[in-house]
Amino acid sequence: MALVLMEEFGEVPGEGRVQKWILKSSNITVEIITLGCIITAIKCKGKNGEVNDIVLGYDDLEGYLANPKYFGAVIGRVANRIAKGRFVVDGKDYQLAINNGPNSLHGGLRGFSKVIWGSEGVEGGVRLTLTSPDGDQNYPGEVQASVTYTLEGDTLSIQYQARSTRTTPINLTNHSYFNLAGQGSADIYDHEVSINAPTYLPVDDVMIPTGEVRPVEHTPFDLRRPVLIGPRLKEVPGPGFDHNFCLSSPGDAWTERVCARVFHPASGCVMEVSTTQPGVQFYTANFLDGSFKGKGGASYPKHSAFCLETQNWPDAVNQDSGDDSHRIAQSPVVHVRGLCEAVVEADLVEALEKFGPICYVMMMPFKRQALVEFEMVESADKCVACGSSEAVYIAGQQAFFNYSTSKRITRPTNSDNPNSGNKVLLLSIQNPLYPITTDVLYTVCNPIGSVMRIVIFKRNGIQAMVEFESIECAQKAKAALNGADIYAGCCTLKIEYARPTRLNVIRNDNESWDYTKPYLVRRERGKGRQRQAILGEHPSSYGDNGYGSHCPLLPLPGNSRYKLSSHDIPEVVAYPLPQSSSYNHGSSSVAMVSGLHPAKMNCTRIFNLFCLYGNIEKVKFMKSVPGTALVEMGDEYAVDRAITHLNSIKVFGKRLNVCVSKQHAVIPSQVFELEDGSSSYKDFAMTRNNRFTSQGQASKNIIQPPSCVLHYYNVPPCISEDQLLRLCSEHDVPGFTKFKMFDAKPSSKTISGLLEFDSKTHAVEVLTVLNHYQIRIPNGSNPYTLKLCFSTSSHL
């Protein structure tokens, strides 16, 4: 999660102070002020390491108080235009202020973008709240609105919520102006855009939809494949794009889907937009004219930015032919949104069974959504109506309801029998702070019912399929384990029936296992990814509600990542999570390293540095992002150690940025030649220089942060101080300033000692280049491999 900071931004006389909230992840910084929930900055790194602010805005509060173009603001009550500022609700006419030709635009003269919101920090972000009184800007009903910004990795999420005491139009969006080349750049003509929309809304001469929903095919509005904005603008009638694109529905009106993507080739910056809304307004800053100054004195001329405003369709309150996806026919199936990650079927049943009998629940892991099928439509009516008029809480968090487009939830195997099941279960592991292997899942599942096969995959988070001996075993396991934590407070199981009725396993290892075929090829210990978990006993009971308990199934792993024998495992209790922040970086065994010197760093040198913190499987430089590499390590803990000790260190004059990659494995694609002539990809899984391949070997490693003193060992006894200095000089790395050799036994075939350097940076560079250097001696049969690591000593 992001680091969250808050500072004062200014004061509006008579209204109050304005705060600025700062969200920081490893690659992105987002700044938000409480005036209008405005995003004032999004700073991200380009492919050459430069940091660009990609949103337009102002340097101070005075600029945002005027803000005639709504830079970065949340728009409400109603984003976009309302024709002639008029609408009818519950038989009553309402007239709004006219502020855009003959129409009302973006909530009126003093909409949500012009007022100060309340704010509070939340995990990874900030939540802003506003009460809009009945009659505000002449809209009916008091509205309680909230906007929550969260930053996780490279993803900025915005969640809007609003509840009114009366029927009223609501259409919230964010109006940030983007230029991926950096704010202040002249235009967006070199940006590539694609929008996943089969239709769009034509508009009249005052930008109000005509009522027609027109296919984009064979028109300039067909952006389903990437196109350059500049040439396409010449084909669009009028000054540019300012149109609603009707998003293709994936089957349910509220399901989140990717709707747009913009790419700037020169900087390498990519922006992908996903939404649950039925439309996205694509606007190319047609009405900017360069007449006022932005951040840093920048001028913002026409077409110097673009907006992608996810929202309901414009003027929907007056349109007869608008989007029907949010006016779905009654159905016994209700779509539930806004769930917290910890929710399981039992929580939904407990909260919603008051509306009527429930016959089926289908969770949507990682989307915080679910489908609930009631036995009668009348029960679904009560649920949707109640959710529209008052807050309904599920597992302590407010949820939102609408009819599903489906009349019945599809059961596993598509059987018509609602009680039918499948002997294969799909397990989704939420918050996987610790490695999940076949051994872990077998230990959890097999005591309940005989497990035949397990396959683990990582398409959308960590998921697994477990095949049981019978449907009855699978049903028992689902009822017992759904919602349980494998380890206290993490690795939570979300279980549903899978579609396949049998699993096909070709090898037995950490990610797949056929327990009916123990003879299948198995990865040798120490030669594959070291991702074994420390297993404990299965709990004796699972609660009595039929849906599983929230107690941990296994004790938390200790400092060792190797299996304990059964007599070493304590009684299972709810162990607390480790307090160290080292468990907060993520749950991938792949690290992404940027800031690498293009001429001096290669796969081998990355291995030399990172192998001090865990086994290295593969290293691959990214062709599309120069100076960046992916490092697949033995397990998530190794990545965590590397981030803790290597992030922000300087190597060859460049500062490294080490973070968890979204990738779960390194794939040897797009291999090319680096500047030094070496390959951009190398597999280190079989090298003997990995230092954590056995428990005994791993226990000899002392994990240390970089220091100015290096410990050297495995050096032939005949090597002198001068020869080691000459070795540094030959490889163009700094020489050491102090030298110490440890006393060795007469029978010892190697020597060891310490080398002190002028700075930590010098020591890091020497280790990066000379670690594992092959020292050959005259008449020697085999070379000696020089091994280096950071010493616990600070000085000699």
* CA dihedral sign of residues 392, 396, 398, 399: negative
Instruction: Extract the runs of DSSP E, i.e. beta strands, from 397-450.
Output: 397-403, 424-430
Amino acid symbol at 286? N
Q: Which residues of 197-226 are buried (b: 16+ CB within 10 A; e: fewer)?
A: bebbbebeeebbbeeebeebeeeebbbeee
Amino acid symbol at 334? V
Instruction: Extract the runs of DSSP E, i.e. beta strands, from 726-780.
Output: 738-741, 751-756, 774-775
With tokens 């865990």, the residue in question is 614
Other CB atoms within a 10 A radius of the CB of residue 15 amount to: 11
Rounded to 5°, angle at Cα 363 from 553 and 385 = 130
Q: Alpha-carbon dihedral of residues 436, 440, 442, 444, nearest 10 degrees? A: -110
CA 442 – CA 449 distance, rounded (Å): 10
Q: Alpha-carbon dihedral of residues 51, 53, 59, 63, nearest 10 degrees? A: 180
* CA dihedral sign of residues 641, 2, 592, 731: negative
Name which of 152, 154, 28 is nearest 584 in CA terms: 152
Beta bridge partners of 103: 100
CA 736 – CA 542 distance, rounded (Å): 61
CA 589 – CA 638 distance, rounded (Å): 7
How far is the CA of 209 from the CAs of 81, 201, 282, 670, 693, in angstroms? 9, 6, 14, 46, 65
Return the active site residues.
175, 309
Compute the residue count for the chain: 796
φ and ψ at residue 83, rounded to 5 degrees: -55, 125
CA 88 – CA 93 distance, rounded (Å): 5
Tokens of 374: 């009631």
How far is the CA of 473 from the CAs of 211, 451, 487, in angstroms? 55, 9, 23
CA 135 – CA 141 distance, rounded (Å): 7
Checking 459-462 for CB contacts under 8 A at 24+ apart, the result is 460/365, 460/366, 461/365, 461/366, 461/428, 461/429, 461/430, 461/432, 462/428, 462/429, 462/432, 462/436, 462/587
CB 308 within 8 A of CB 325: no
CA 57 – CA 76 distance, rounded (Å): 19
CA 375 – CA 377 distance, rounded (Å): 7
Q: Which residues of 405-422 are buried (b: 16+ CB within 10 A; e: fewer)?
A: bbeebebbbeeeeeeebb
Other CB atoms within a 10 A radius of the CB of residue 670 amount to: 12
* CA dihedral sign of residues 76, 78, 79, 83: negative
One DSSP character per residue, 99-130 reads -BTTBEETTSTT-GGGSBPEEEEETTEEEEEE
If residue 548 lies in a helix (H) or strand (E), which one and from where to where? none
